Amino acid sequence: MAAPNLSGVLPRVLIVSRRCVRKNKFVDFVGEYHLDLIVGYGAVPVIVPRVAGVHTLLDSFEPIHGVLLCEGEDIDPSHYEGAEAVASTGLSPEELDEIRRLHASDSAVDREKDSIELRLAKLCLERNIPYLGICRGSQILNVACGGTLHQDVERELSKSSRGAVATVHMNYDNYDGHRHPVRVIEGTPLDRWFRESLEEEKKEIEVNSYHHQGVKRLAERFVPMAFAPDGLVEGFYDPNSYNPEEGKFIMGLQFHPERMRRSGSDEFDYPGCAKAYQEFVKAVIAYQKKINSSATISHAPKMDQELEKKRKIIVRSFSLAKNLYETRQVSPFKEEDLEAGAEFLESNTALSLQQEQRLKQVGATVRNASSYLKKLKMMEEKEAMARKLMRKMSVEQLSELLSFYHMMGQICSDVLQIRTTAA
């Protein structure tokens, strides 16, 4: 039987199920609103069952064109702060017991689900697969990138926030009807999606809330999109991995836009509520086209083994230099590992002027590693001073500063690109 032509198949979005007990048996489920929106915008939801061992079988779910992670229990704190996580909250054992009693259905950690979802999140980050995290899914994304979580938002923020407005993040008596305001940050995707519903001065929308945990320290790669009155981050994204038309989408929302509907109706609270799913699926479709296009390119002639070996050595040399140049993280390496890239630069004449200039920037790092390390030490000292200063700034000041430097970075990148091309 001939293999199907995958270029004509709708893109696949993986969604991990949540386990519950029904009639004394475990049942896996996914909220239907998620499935309706994914199908409605042109993709196929593929449910990954939360059963033992599935985290070792994720290769069997390929091809993966997108991942949507949503509801679930609290994430095991060992994934982000280890044994210090609970101690650092300032909560007493009695308070922690009260939290577990009050939020019994959420506070029971599901380690299998944690394992499946963290692996999927990291896979998306490694391969730039579109990712949308809703509620717990946003927390998974933050933890996968090195961020941390509050063990209980309302109790922790009430102790640490001076002058902040107390916010109710979970109301069991008015579960689907409860709303609280969030302030949307200008220039973010959330701002564009809800623009017609935002007042010019307040920049606020009312969102639902079904969680007692939330982002404590936002991972460095992310930019906040919205804040609750108590300062909690209610939405964030990676601006360097956001361009739905090009298949790029990495985002987390603490609230549930798919459930923000008027009482007794399927009509959304705001026209922008479905936009997260619409733009996510747009990115999923573009990503599928991109990988299908790569797969259909005619096979290049195979290199002989010796040439392939040389190619891998040169690629590794530039990878080490790139890591040193861009991330400032020094990994153990041998001098000959870096010399291969330097020799390639000196002997190669087939590159364009633009390519040669860019590669020589990295090559200079290879040949002058000792002087670069001195500069790196100076940068670390400056970074320490900057961190000390920023700890004294408010959440709003930090958010505005982050947005400003992201804008300036984009401008610098554009100008540099123009000058490099013109050279």
Give the 3-state DSSP-derived string for 139-179, with helices as H, strands as E and coil as C. HHHHHHCCCEEECCHHHHHHHHCCCCCCCCCECHHHCCCCC
In this structure, are residues 316 and 285 in contact, taking their beta carbons and an 8 Å threshold? no
Q: Say if CB 144 and CB 131 are below 8 A apart.
A: no
Of 104-118, 167-181, 199-213, 397-411, minimum mean pLDDT range: 397-411
Determine the 3-state secondary structure of 371 from DSSP: helix
Can you list the alpha helix ranges (DSSP code H) found in 185-299? 189-193, 275-296
Instruction: Output the pLDDT for position 36.
Output: 94
Q: Are residues 375 and 398 in the same domain?
A: no
pLDDT of residue 414: 72
Segment 134-151 shows an average pLDDT of: 93
Residue 96 burial by Cβ neighbours in a 10 Å radius (0-12, 13-18, 19+): middle
pLDDT of residue 14: 97
Residue 358, domain member (yes or no): yes
Q: Which entry of 135, 169, 212, 279 is annotated as an active-site residue?
A: 135
Question: Where does the pLDDT of residue 1 fall: very low under 50, low under 70, confident under 90, or very high at 90 and above?
Answer: very low
Which residue among 70, 258, 273, 279 is the active-site one? 258
Is 299 within a domain?
no
Q: Which of 33-37, 46-50, 105-109, 381-385 has the lowest mean pLDDT?
A: 105-109
**Mean pLDDT across the stretch 395-406?**
75
Residues 192-206 have pLDDT tens digits of 999 999 987 889 999
The pLDDT of residue 221 is above 80: yes
Dihedral sign for Cα 19, 172, 235, 380, please. Answer: negative
Query: How large is the average pLDDT for residues 115-124?
Result: 95
| Residue 127 forms part of a structural domain | yes
Checking if the pLDDT of 3 tops 50, the result is no
* pLDDT tens string 230-250: 899 999 999 999 999 999 999
Report pLDDT for 69.
Answer: 96
- pTM of the predicted model, to two decimals? 0.68
Q: Regarding beta strands 248-253 and 214-217, do their DSSP bridges make them parallel or antiparallel, or are they unpaired? A: unpaired
Residue 62 in domain: yes
* pLDDT attached to residue 2: 47
Residue-level pLDDT at 331: 54
Q: Which domain holds residue 326?
A: 313-380
Beta strands in 165-232 (DSSP E): 180-184, 204-207, 214-217, 223-227
* For range 213-234, the mean pLDDT: 93
Q: Which two tokens stand for residue 246?
A: 């090009």
Choice among 49-58, 200-209, 274-283, 384-393 with the minimum mean pLDDT: 384-393
Going by C-alpha positions, the residue among 224, 293, 11, 233 that lies closest to residue 129 is 11
Mean pLDDT for the stretch of residues 58-81: 90
Whether residue 102 has pLDDT greater than 70? no
Instruction: Tell me how many domains the chain contains.
Output: 3
The verdict on residue 347 lying in a domain is yes
Domain identity same for 224 and 267: yes
Report, in angstroms and rounded to the nearest whole number, the Rg of the chain calculated over CA atoms.
24
Residues 353 and 412 in one domain: no
Q: What share of the chain is helix, strand, coil (3-state, %, to 5)?
A: 50, 15, 30
pLDDT of residue 87: 56
Q: Do 134 and 232 fall into the same domain?
A: yes
Alpha-carbon distance 307 to 235, whole Å?
48
Q: What is the mean pLDDT of the chain?
A: 80
Does 220 participate in catalysis according to the annotation?
no
256 catalytic, yes or no?
Answer: yes
Among 126-135, 211-220, 372-381, name the one with the lowest average pLDDT: 372-381
Between these two residues, 209 and 394, which has the higher pLDDT value? 209
Report the CATH number that the domain containing residue 146 is assigned in CATH.
3.40.50.880
Q: Are residues 318 and 271 in the same domain?
A: no
Same domain, 27 and 107: yes
In-domain check, residue 406: yes
- Note whether residue 162 is domain-resident: no
Q: Would you say residue 268 has pLDDT above 90?
A: yes
pLDDT the model gives residue 355 = 57
Quick check: 115 and 69 in contact, CB under 8 A?
no
Secondary structure of residue 138 in the 3-state scheme: helix
> Tens digits of per-residue pLDDT, 280-338?
999 999 999 999 887 765 444 555 677 777 777 777 777 777 666 655 555 556 666 66
Which amino acid is it at 269? Answer: D
359 plus 423 within the same structural domain:
no
Q: Hey, is 332 helix, strand or coil? A: coil
> Is residue 258 annotated as part of the catalytic site, yes or no?
yes
247 and 343 in one domain?
Answer: no
Residues 213 and 281 both lie in one domain: yes
- Whether pLDDT at 155 is above 80: no
Residue 303 lies in a domain: no
Does residue 406 share a domain with residue 354? no
From the list 34, 65, 103, 256, the catalytic residue is 256
User: CB under 8 Å, gap of 24 or more: what pairs does 94-97 form?
Assistant: 95/152, 95/155, 96/151
**Residue 170 near residue 103, CB atoms below 8 Å:** yes
The mean pLDDT value for 170-191 works out to 88
Tell whether the model's pLDDT for residue 223 goes beyond 90. Answer: yes
| Shared-domain flag, residues 254 and 217 | yes
Residue 210's pLDDT band, with cuts at 50, 70 and 90, is confident
Same domain, 39 and 107: yes
pLDDT of residue 144: 94
* Mean pLDDT of all residues in 161-189: 82
